């Protein structure tokens, strides 16, 4: 809980670098961007031209009619009609580019989310072990949503502002130099005000995004742990933890929004001051005969047109800062180094010829082989037998904390190897290393005589069937979840695997049997039933090597006896690594390894270890006493 309550100090963001990366995604829609820019130009020109029309409208069509007894309004109406057409053209262009920008923004976010999800599939397990899952999800939701607001609203407005301010400035200089200098002087004051306010509020936007990620992670963790929370009556403490994070989010949000919200009224008031000064100076010039009324009215409209975009942009600065903060978090995840795989040995189907040589085949034959390339371009097939050996392996999840110290062990083909020991002894770590979820810094692990670092990770893991203590089921039918172990498995193969794991009986009692939909990690099943499906999923994969990480920990004693026969069939002829807290389940293992503080302190079968009356004997007799 402490890691959520900790207040983090955010560093200033790389605004330029983050902006460039966003634009790189945006400019993948080149044709739409060109069309948007063209429509923005049309919209800006229409807006600027309509203001310029005020000068001839007043000087040429309105003032000459003043005092006439029978004025002719045809010219005035014609001019008003022209202005109306220009306004309509500008409005249509604005509507059209806004709709196109929606397409661009949603398409950009779609690409970013695709890249995010693709990057997640390439990250090592270590990343997920060291990052809060809710914070990862926040990058898909909150961070990308703020980016959407910026792309669909602020980006086109920035382009429109630059064009509008540039064209307006040129026309104002043409209309009157003195009044233009007043407006430009006030513009400098506006820019300095924007810089002062945003520089104070900028750092808080990253704090908002980080606090939002912490809040999501904390909420996800607490929702998943509701049973434990209620059992130990920790609702008040959990509520306090949530309130602490929520308060941190409130303070960061209040500070950042407070800095940004002051910009709108500040810019508006500076705009009014500019308008008033120009009106006063223009009136004095008109009285002195140096400026006509039409020019004054047109210029005043331009002064508002000139300052209005700046005011609008200042109001959007909070969206820009929040979006860049979110984008930076997204790009931080995208920049995470992917899982390194330098292996070149692949797993292939094989068959044995009459002379005993191996031949690679396309279809499953029940025999696998490692395809080992050599430096001269030739390849060699090595039969996958399931011989796994650790040679003086040293490993720690952190450099200064050793978990396994000088581990050497072997599992011959077809052997069942069991790991026992107290919590934290390193049992699961050994299986993590076999899977290459982590690579060993010292020592070697050999698989059929091949260093596993030379085997492609996907092929290595394809040769292993894993049943974990924590079962993960996916949204879909029961049949889909079993087939997850082998995507091309037929329905008959999936049902056979379920029967092997003794899951068939309870599956057929479900509302739609094998077609029953599972959601929420199989929340409508018991823990034991989920574990049986996990075993069936491993069975249908028919792997040559099995890893059972406390696979029966969530199954009651009666169910455990029911699956023993099926598990024995599943393990027959395979190399099996078993981690079990019930020592009664490992008595028939070929070898039992007792681990303590990251070292193997005993090795032997059940009978020999009992006879030694060492650590295993103490654990086993203690387990019997508990039973």
**What pLDDT is stored for residue 200 in this prediction?**
63
How many residues does this entry show for the chain? 627
Does one domain contain both 27 and 77?
A: yes
> Half-sphere exposure of 262 toward its Cβ, with a 13 Å CA cutoff?
14
What confidence tens digit (pLDDT) does each residue in 55-114 have?
Answer: 777 777 677 776 667 777 777 788 788 888 888 988 899 899 888 988 888 888 889 988
**What pLDDT is stored for residue 347 in this prediction?**
92
pLDDT band per the 50, 70, 90 thresholds, residue 561 = low
> Is 492 domain-assigned?
yes
Does one domain contain both 361 and 403?
A: no
Pairing, β 368-373 against β 404-411: unpaired
Residue where one domain finishes, among candidates 357, 383, 409: 383
Does one domain contain both 328 and 353?
A: no
| CATH code of 434's domain | 3.40.50.300
The tokens 């600027």 sit on which residue?
Answer: 48
What confidence tens digit (pLDDT) does each residue in 379-426 have?
Answer: 999 999 999 999 999 998 887 888 899 999 999 998 899 898 887 788
| CATH code of 186's domain | 1.20.1560.10
What confidence tens digit (pLDDT) does each residue in 478-502 have?
Answer: 998 899 888 888 999 999 988 888 8
Does one domain contain both 513 and 537?
A: yes
DSSP symbols for 391-405: EEEEE-SBTTB-SEE
- Predicted confidence (pLDDT) at residue 532 exceeds the cutoff of 80: yes
Does one domain contain both 120 and 157?
A: yes
**What pLDDT is stored for residue 232 in this prediction?**
64
Does one domain contain both 196 and 288?
A: yes
> Is 7 domain-assigned?
no
Does one domain contain both 427 and 483?
A: yes
> Is 2 domain-assigned?
no
Q: Within 420-456, where are the H helices?
A: 427-434
Does one domain contain both 375 and 316?
A: no
Residue where one domain finishes, among candidates 304, 334, 364: 334
> Half-sphere exposure of 561 toward its Cβ, with a 13 Å CA cutoff?
2
Of the candidates 593, 176, 279, the one whose C-alpha atom is nearest the C-alpha of residue 415 is 593
Q: What is the pLDDT averaged over residues 459-485?
A: 85
Beta bridge mates, 368? 349
Q: Within 338-475, where are the H helices?
A: 427-434, 457-462
- What is the residue range of 325's domain? 15-334
Does one domain contain both 292 and 355?
A: no
SS3 content of the chain, % helix, strand, coil (to 5): 60, 15, 25
> Is 5 domain-assigned?
no
Pairing, β 591-596 against β 416-421: parallel
> Is 74 domain-assigned?
yes
Q: How many domains does the chain have?
A: 3
Say what the pTM is. Answer: 0.69
> Is 4 domain-assigned?
no
> Is 6 domain-assigned?
no
> Is 3 domain-assigned?
no
Residues 129, 403: Cα–Cα separation, whole Å: 16
Does one domain contain both 85 and 165?
A: yes
Does one domain contain both 320 and 175?
A: yes
The tokens 């109406």 sit on which residue?
Answer: 77
**What pLDDT is stored for residue 388 in this prediction?**
93
Does one domain contain both 235 and 355?
A: no
């Amino acid at each position: 809980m402490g890691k959520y309550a900790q207040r983090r100090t955010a560093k200033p963001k790389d605004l330029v670098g983050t902006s460039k990366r966003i634009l790189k995604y945006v400019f993948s829609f080149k044709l739409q961007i060109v069309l948007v820019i063209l429509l923005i130009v049309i919209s800006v020109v229409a807006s600027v031209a309509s203001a310029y029309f005020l000068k001839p409208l007043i000087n040429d069509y309105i003032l000459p009619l003043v005092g006439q007894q029978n004025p002719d309004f045809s010219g005035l109406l014609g001019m008003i009609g022209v202005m109306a057409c220009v306004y309509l053209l500008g409005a249509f262009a604005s509507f059209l580019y806004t709709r196109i920008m929606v397409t661009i923004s949603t398409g950009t976010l779609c690409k970013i989310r695709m890249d995010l999800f693709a990057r997640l599939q390439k990250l090592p397990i270590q990343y997920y072990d060291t990052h809060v899952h809710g914070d990862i999800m926040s990058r898909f939701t909150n961070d990308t949503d703020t980016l959407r607001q910026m792309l669909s609203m602020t980006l086109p407005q920035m382009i429109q502002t630059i064009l509008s301010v540039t064209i307006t400035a040129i026309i104002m200089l043409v209309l009157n130099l003195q009044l233009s200098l007043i407006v430009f002087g006030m513009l400098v004051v506006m820019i300095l005000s924007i810089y002062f306010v945003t520089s104070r509020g900028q750092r808080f936007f990253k704090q908002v995004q980080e606090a939002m990620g912490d809040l999501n992670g904390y909420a996800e963790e607490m929702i998943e742990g509701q049973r434990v929370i209620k059992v130990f009556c920790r609702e008040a403490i959990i509520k306090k933890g949530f309130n602490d994070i929520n308060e941190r989010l409130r303070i960061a949000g209040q500070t950042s929004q407070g800095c940004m919200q002051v910009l709108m009224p500040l810019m508006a008031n500076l705009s009014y001051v500019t308008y008033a000064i120009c009106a006063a100076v223009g009136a004095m010039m008109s009285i002195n005969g140096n400026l006509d009324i039409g020019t004054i009215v047109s210029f005043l409209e331009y002064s508002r047109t000139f300052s209005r975009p700046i005011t609008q942009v200042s109001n959007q600065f909070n969206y820009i800062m929040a979006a860049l903060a979110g984008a930076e978090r997204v790009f931080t995840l995208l920049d995470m180094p992917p899982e390194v795989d330098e292996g070149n040995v692949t797993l292939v189907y094989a068959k044995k010829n009459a002379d005993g040589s191996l031949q690679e085949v396309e279809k499953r034959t029940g025999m696998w082989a490692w395809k080992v390339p050599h430096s001269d371009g030739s390849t060699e097939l090595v039969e996958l037998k399931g011989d796994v050996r650790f040679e003086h392996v040293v490993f720690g999840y952190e450099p200064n904390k050793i978990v396994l110290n000088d581990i050497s062990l072997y599992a011959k083909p077809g052997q069942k190897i069991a790991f026992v020991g107290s919590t934290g002894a390193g049992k699961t770590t050994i299986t993590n290393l076999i899977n290459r979820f982590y690579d060993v810094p010292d020592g070697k692990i050999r698989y059929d005589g091949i260093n596993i670092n030379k085997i492609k990770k996907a092929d290595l893991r394809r040769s292993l069937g894993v049943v974990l203590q924590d079962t993960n089921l996916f949204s879909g039918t029961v049949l889909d979840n079993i087939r997850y172990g082998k995507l091309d498995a037929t329905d008959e193969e999936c049902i056979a695997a379920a029967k092997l794991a003794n899951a068939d009986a309870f599956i057929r009692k479900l509302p739609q049997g094998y077609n029953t939909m599972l959601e929420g990690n199989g929340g409508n099943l018991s823990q034991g039933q989920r574990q049986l499906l996990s075993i069936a999923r491993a069975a249908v994969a028919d792997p040559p090597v099995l890893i059972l990480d406390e696979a029966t920990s969530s199954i009651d004693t009666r169910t455990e006896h029911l699956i023993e026969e099926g598990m024995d069939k599943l393990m027959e002829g395979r190399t099996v690594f078993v981690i079990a807290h019930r020592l009664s389940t490992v008595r028939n293992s070929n070898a039992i390894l007792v681990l303590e503080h990251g070292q193997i302190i005993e090795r032997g079968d059940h009978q020999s270890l009992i006879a030694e009356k060492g650590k295993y004997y103490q654990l086993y007799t203690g387990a019997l006493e508990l039973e």
